[in-house]
Every structure is written in structure tokens, then in C-alpha cells.
Structure 1
Amino acid sequence: MKLRVSIAAACLALAGCQTMATKPVVVDLPDPAAPAAQRAREAALGLAAGDCAAPDWSMAGRVALSNGKDGGSGRIEWLQGDGRVQVSLSAPITRQSWTLAVDAGEATLDGVPNGPLRGPDAAALLRAATGWDIPVAALGCWMRGAQAAVATFGASRIVFAAGQLPARIEQAGWVVDYADWKADAVSGLPMPGRINAQRGEDRVRLVVDRWDASLE
């Protein structure tokens, strides 16, 4: 309990006085061609099988986290490749930061008291250490506007907006909303600029400043 309280306090220090945009309004357009366009986009991203660890890619931006009681925000960098994922969160003003690395089925969390901490489940490790519920295994797909593997995370529901792009993905109890799509962000493919993922009182909000990916 002492560890969770100390990390929650550090995350609160990240928050400052800034707020991030509220989730976008979803427009359910009955476009019969949208599902096929979504499958083609997922295939072009290397996500046809819902493997969120593929292919190599990275993003940088801003993140806000809340769990119904505590909230914090800061800078985020997400890098992954060769089956490895590294997520870094930092607040330059307070100099608070932590890094989560996932490799070969083991997660390591640095930047916490008595750390680094290790465990087989990245999301469970974060939840136990910080109180934040972040769906690490699926977020790599959801951030890119794609569903995660149905065999692992269950069936999804996708609501489409104009341009045959997803406005919302519902999967594994999470609702992920998208806004401000960036045209030609990765190899000519559009990528979301704002992502809001929520399950109950747990929320992860992202504003993407930069996308970078290798689709080879």
C-alpha cells in the first residue's frame, strides 16, 4: 500500500493545471464499404492478425491517466520492435519519470521506489505498483486504430466515421475513441491524433505529436 500511495503522489505531480480534450462525438455511419477498408488498413499496418507487438514503430506525445480517484499527465514515448516494447512517461518540470519494458514475456518497471520491479504481466505490474490500469498488451493495436487479436481479447465492435476510419473500437470491456486523424502519418496511412481509452473509471488519454513506423 505504501508503494502505491507514493507512486500515486508522483503521478499527481505530473498533472499540473492542464486538461486534455474530452472524447470525441461518435458518428455511426452505415457505410457498407467501411469494414473492408478497415481490414485493408490493418493489413497495411501489419496488424491483420491483431498482433500488437508487430511491426516496428514508435510514437511520442502527451498522456493523461485517471482511475476515478487520482489523475496525472505528462510526456509519453512508446517504442517497439523485435518483440520488445518500451513505454516511458515523464514530466520535465517535476522530473518524475518511469519506464516499462516488456521483452520475452517479462515486464520490468523502472523509476519506482524499491525498483526495478519485474513480473510476467505488464498491465498487472503497473496496476499493482501505481494504481493505473493501462491495457499495455492491446494498446499497441488500439492506438493505431486497429482491433487486437480476437482470440486473446475477444470480439470487437467498430463504429466508423467519415472517411471509413474508425471513430470507436469496443473490445475487452474498453471503449476507445478517436479524433483528429493525421493524413499520411505513416507510409501514406492515416493515424489518429487523439485517443481516449476508457473502462469504467479507468481512462488513458493520448495526444500524439509524432508517429514513426517501419512497415517492411
Structure 2
Amino acid sequence: MPITRRLSLLALSAAFITLAGCATTSTNVATVGAYRDSIDLDGRLSVNYQKSGNRESMTVNFDWAQRPGRVDVTIANPLGQTVATIEVTPQSATLTQAGRAPVTEADVDTLSQRTLGWPLPVSGLRDWLQGYAVDAQGQRFSASPAGNEVVTQDGWRLRFVEWQDPNAAQPAPRVIHATRAAVGDIQDLEIRIVINQAGQG
């Protein structure tokens, strides 16, 4: 894989999961009893988009350990080799690659802009991984097998495709599709998240 594509792959996946891990949780905890501040996830992230007339696609694996006030993420290539680690706290977000100086910013917005060159949604992604969102009217959305699609307040179309246990009282998602027509100069952005395991820390 060319080095530019490898770095693009790393930056995109790392920024996405970093952002997913650090959205605000105070409202969530107060209003949704099933929401958990401590959770462990591992899974796969696939991204497809068009830029400058070219169609790009990439896939990475991730391990995510979320605790109150901190998120630690390990990013691996499809062969299972670790390519980056991420640490997120309320004060900073840091991306570390082997053999390179860590990249630290005060917030994930700045980190994603620096590593990607274009922003990803900061609020909401942590909700999505647990089956929640804020819809276009600003209302709290709780996904279920019977109601699995929503357009978010910031313009993402979400579809919760599969569930860990569809018969649970509050089922946790296993496969999530997120799409958006345009983000900056990125067109037809599609993100597919497959969560292999989910557990409370």
C-alpha cells in the first residue's frame, strides 16, 4: 500500500473513532438509562467516499475502551497489526503512531482537521455506537429493530442494520450505516461500522 494511502487510512479511521469516543455524555446519562459511560468495543470500520473524481475506500479494525473521562483506542490494519493508538480526555486528544511523534490537540475537532484535512461529526458518534442519536428536530432518538433509521441534527442519515440481540429490552447495535452527501470536498461519504463485542466496563 502506498505510504500516502496508508497514512490517509490511519488518519481517517483514527479520527472517526476518536470523535466517536469523546462526545458529551452528561445529557445522555441523565435522560437515557441504558446509556453506559463505561463500555468496551471491538469491531471494524469501513469508509467509502469520492474526492476529486476518485472513489476511495478503506477498512480498519479497532479496540475501544471507554471509561468516564477517558477513551483509549487501538487501530489495527486488516492483518491485525497495530498502526496507531489514541487517547482522549476532556483536556486533549492524542494520536500516536509507531516511530512518529504523537499528535496532540486540545480538542478532537482540531485533531481531525489536522490529521484529515476535513472535519467529522464530533457530537453524536458516541451515541450512535450505543443506538442513540439526536434527530433533525433536536429530539432524542432511540433506535430499535422496529425504528432503525434517522436523519441527525447535523445531516447524517443513520441506519441501524443489525443488532447484538434484537430481543433485548434495549438492543445494542451490531452494524451501523452512516451516509452524508457532502462534507467539505468529500462527496458521497459512507461509513459502515461492525461491532463484534460490546460489554460494560
TM-score (norm 1): 0.63
Alignment of 1:115-130 (within 5 A): 115-130=101-116
* 3-state SS of paired residue (1:55): coil
Flag the structure with larger Rg.
Answer: 1
1:102 corresponds to: 88
Aligned to 2:97: 111
- Which one-letter code corresponds to 1:73 in the other structure? T
Establish whether residue 43 from structure 1 lines up as the match of residue 32 from structure 2.
yes
| Equivalence for 1:49 | none
8 Å CA contact 2:131–2:142 kept in 1: the answer is: no
User: Gaps spanning 5+ residues in structure 1: where?
Assistant: 14-38, 47-53
Question: Structure 2 unaligned runs (5+)?
Answer: 11-27
CA shift for structure 1 position 189: 3.1
Matches within 5 A, 1:17-166: 43-46=32-35, 55-69=37-51, 70-93=56-79, 95=81, 97-111=83-97, 114-131=100-117, 133-147=119-133, 155-156=138-139, 158=141, 162-163=145-146, 165-166=147-148
Q: Work out the CA distance in 2 between the residues paired with 1:66 and 1:131.
A: 16
Inter-CA distance 77–132: structure 2 relative to 1 (3 Å threshold): farther
Q: 3-state DSSP class of the match of 1:205? A: strand
* Other-structure match for 1:27: none
Change over 3 Å in CA distance of 1:176–1:86 after alignment to 2: farther
Q: Indicate the SS of the match to 2:50.
A: coil
Q: State the distance in 1 between where 2:98 and 2:114 align.
A: 12
Q: TM-score, normalised by structure 2?
A: 0.67
1:157 is displaced (CA, Å) by 7.8
8 Å CA contact retained: 1:106, 1:120: yes
More strand as a share of residues: 2
1:142: how far off? 1.2
Question: Is 1:192 matched with 2:173?
Answer: yes
Identity over aligned residues, as a percent?
22
**Cα offset for 1:208?**
1.0
For residue 6 of structure 1, report the CA deviation from its aligned partner: 4.7
SS in 1 for 2:133: coil
The answer to whether the aligner puts 1:206 opposite 2:173 as a matched pair is: no
Report the equivalent of 2:18. none
Kindly tell me the number of residue pairs found equivalent between the two proteins.
Answer: 171
Q: 2 CA distance for matches of 1:190 and 1:62?
A: 19
Measure how far apart 1:192 and its partner are. Answer: 0.9
> Secondary structure of the residue that 2:110 maps to in structure 1?
helix
Amino acid at match of 1:196: H
